[in-house]
Amino acid sequence: MNPTFRRSAQASALLLLLLPLASSTSPKLDPPKAAAAVPVQGANPDPQVIAQFGLFENAKLQSYIDQKGMAMGRISDRPADVKGFTIVDSPIINAFATPDGHVYFTRGIMAYFNNEAQFSGVLGHEIGHITARHGQKQQTRSTIANGALILGSILSKRVASIAQPASQVVGLGLLKYGRDDENESDKLGVKYSSKIGYDPASMADFFLTLQRTEQSSGAATIPTFLSSHPNSADRYQNVKKLAVQAEQQAGKQLAVNRDQYLRLLEGLPFGDDPRQGFVEGGVFYHPDLKFRFPIPSGWKSQNSPTQFQMAEPNGKAVIVLIPAGGSGATLDAAAEALAKQLNIQSAQASRTTINSFPAIAIQGDQVGQDQQTGQQGITARTLSYVIQDGQTIYALVGLTSPAAFETYAPQFQRTAQGFARLTDASKLNRQPEKVHIRTAKAGQTLASALAANGVPSSRYEEMAILNGMKTSDKLTSGQLFKIVGK
């Protein structure tokens, strides 16, 4: 998975969490995109959630979730606890509620809903976590292991002690709930979605889509919804039974609204957005920022809005690309600030040039508190490079234990010295795939409709899951369905 690496003022918060810093000042680039979100009931999304995932700016979809969310919040058991709704720019399939009363949907999960009732069921489920105060019971935020691709689970204890706090950003707001909490939120999701007029049985149907996505190796992205919301064999049946009861109580047929929802999805980006950085052939490319650099062979990597992380597979070393220096900062000032923020003892700095970019290399020992012994001392050795690209300054921070420094310093150096201007047109012009809505003709199956629209057979199953169908399902004349393409 490649979340995004974009310019953000939240570099400050991430850098403070990534490493034990001595200074509270830190570099800032562009203002955070959170300001562009539409606030609901006066509540803005958490800046650190936006820093991790990025804000998905789509006025049509944002207006839609505001409208439905506010309607559901008003009829919930604790209307005052429901604060706001935001779509974040991530391809993963997830929705989550934070303890402050905000509900977040990824653009990935929005793509996989196939009607308004499915969306409404998951919306009700998340509002249920808020109104039942499940997050507050767990106190603040917790982390999820599968979200921390590098930090914690892959890094060794030595390096993890340096970077572990950043895993709280990686898993921000994604709380793991027990079966009792999940069952309670399922009941509330059924109650709330039916109360605003939607068929809650669709929420159970969406569980099947999630399971198929998780089981399919050919799927574009794996859902984390099932990780932060543990599933069970009887959950589908339980929701179906609750839905029947809710419809009987409503005394009328509740809405599904497939076509209305699908039309909202036209042009929605699908999967990773290469404009925000992608890895190919052992190289990280960023078309929008127009740079590239190699990743050490065999290392794991993860991209996010404010940093790109690389880790040796056994957790013995890590390299992190972050923005450095504030607006108008000089290269010297940015290097000095980085050394201070990393708490480097006896830092040795040398000026150099990397592929025509002015740069400063910084080597030294990081001093901090050992998480295992609680004593102050040298926690890591670093070789970092501060690189100036016009008005923008980046830092490639390499960290490892002092004993392993001679082994990994050459890889830190090669990665930094490979930082270069991106000029390859095929990489610069790489565009994301998008969801497109098509209309079926009489007599078509989903497979034949996909074929008629140029979808390769290797993606039929992926598209079937995206549509909540089987490839052999027969479509009616005029029926809408989703495909993915440029």
Q: Which of 190, 230, 203 is nearest to 214 (CA)?
A: 230
- The CA distance from 366 to 162, in Å, is 9
> Bridge-partner residues for 275, per DSSP?
none
Distance, CA of 193 to CA of 286 (rounded, Å): 41
**Closest by Cα among 342, 311, 347, 377 to 160:** 311
Mean pLDDT for the stretch of residues 70-83: 94
Is residue 310 a contact partner of residue 301, using CB atoms and an 8 Å limit?
yes
Please classify residue 91 by burial: count the beta carbons closer than 10 Å to its beta carbon, then call 0-12 exposed, 13-18 middle and 19+ buried: buried
Question: pTM for the complete prediction?
Answer: 0.73
Task: Give the separation between CA 41 and CA 33, rounded to whole angstroms.
Answer: 19
Question: What's the number of CA atoms in the CB half-sphere (13 Å) around residue 66?
Answer: 15
> Nearest to residue 224, comparing CAs of 279, 120, 114, 143?
143
**Domains in the chain, CATH or no CATH each:** 11-269 (no CATH), 274-428 (3.40.1000.10), 433-485 (3.10.350)
Q: Are 209 and 190 in contact (CB under 8 A)?
A: no
**DSSP label of 473:** P
User: Between the CA of residue 452 and those of 79, 241, 466, what are the distances in Å?
Assistant: 48, 39, 17
Q: What local confidence, expressed as pLDDT, does residue 371 receive?
A: 55
CA 258 from centroid of its chain's CA atoms: 27
Q: What is the pLDDT of residue 304?
A: 78
- Tell me the C-alpha distance between 165 and 176, whole Å: 18
Residue 211: band (very low, low, confident or very high) from pLDDT cuts 50, 70, 90: confident
Three-state DSSP class for residue 43: strand
Q: In Å, how far are 15, 96, 172, 199 from 165, measured between CA atoms?
A: 10, 21, 11, 42
Summarize the confidence of residues 40-46 as an average pLDDT: 65
CA atoms of 274 and 486, how far apart (whole Å): 12
If you average pLDDT over residues 240-245, what whole number do you get? Answer: 87
* Residue 233 confidence class, pLDDT cut points 50, 70, 90: low
Tokens 């480097």 belong to residue: 344
* Three-state secondary-structure class, residue 363: strand
Cβ neighbours of residue 190 under 8 Å, at least 6 residues apart? 121, 124, 200, 203, 239, 242, 243, 246
CB 73 within 8 A of CB 127: yes
Amino acid at 98: T
What pLDDT score does 210 carry? 82
**The two three-digit tokens of residue 383, written as one number:** 């070789």
- The radius of gyration of the chain's CA atoms, rounded to the nearest angstrom, is 24
CA angle, 168 as apex, 130 and 401 as ends, to 5°? Answer: 170
Q: State the pLDDT at residue 223.
A: 60
Cα of 24 vs its chain's centroid, Å = 26
In degrees, to the nearest 5, what angle opens at C-alpha 167 toward C-alphas 268 and 397?
Answer: 95
pLDDT digits (tens, 9 = 90+) for 8-22: 322 222 233 233 322
More confident of the two residues 9 and 312: 312
Q: What is the pLDDT of residue 207?
A: 84
pLDDT at 434 > cutoff 90: yes
Q: How far is CA 215 from the centre of its chain?
A: 20
- Residues 320-349: tens digit of each pLDDT: 999 987 667 899 999 999 998 888 888 899
- Rounded to the nearest 5°, which phi and psi values hold at 82? -90, 110
Q: Give the Cα separation of 76 and 239 in Å (integer).
A: 18
Q: Give the model's pLDDT for residue 103.
A: 94
Give CA–CA dist 168/151, Å, rounded.
Answer: 10
What percentage of the chain reaches a pLDDT higher than 70? 77
Asked whether the beta carbons of 408 and 415 are under 8 A apart, the reply is no
Rounded Cα–Cα distance for residues 278 and 485 (Å): 18
Q: Does pLDDT of 156 surpass 50?
A: no
In the predicted model, is pLDDT for residue 66 greater than 90? yes
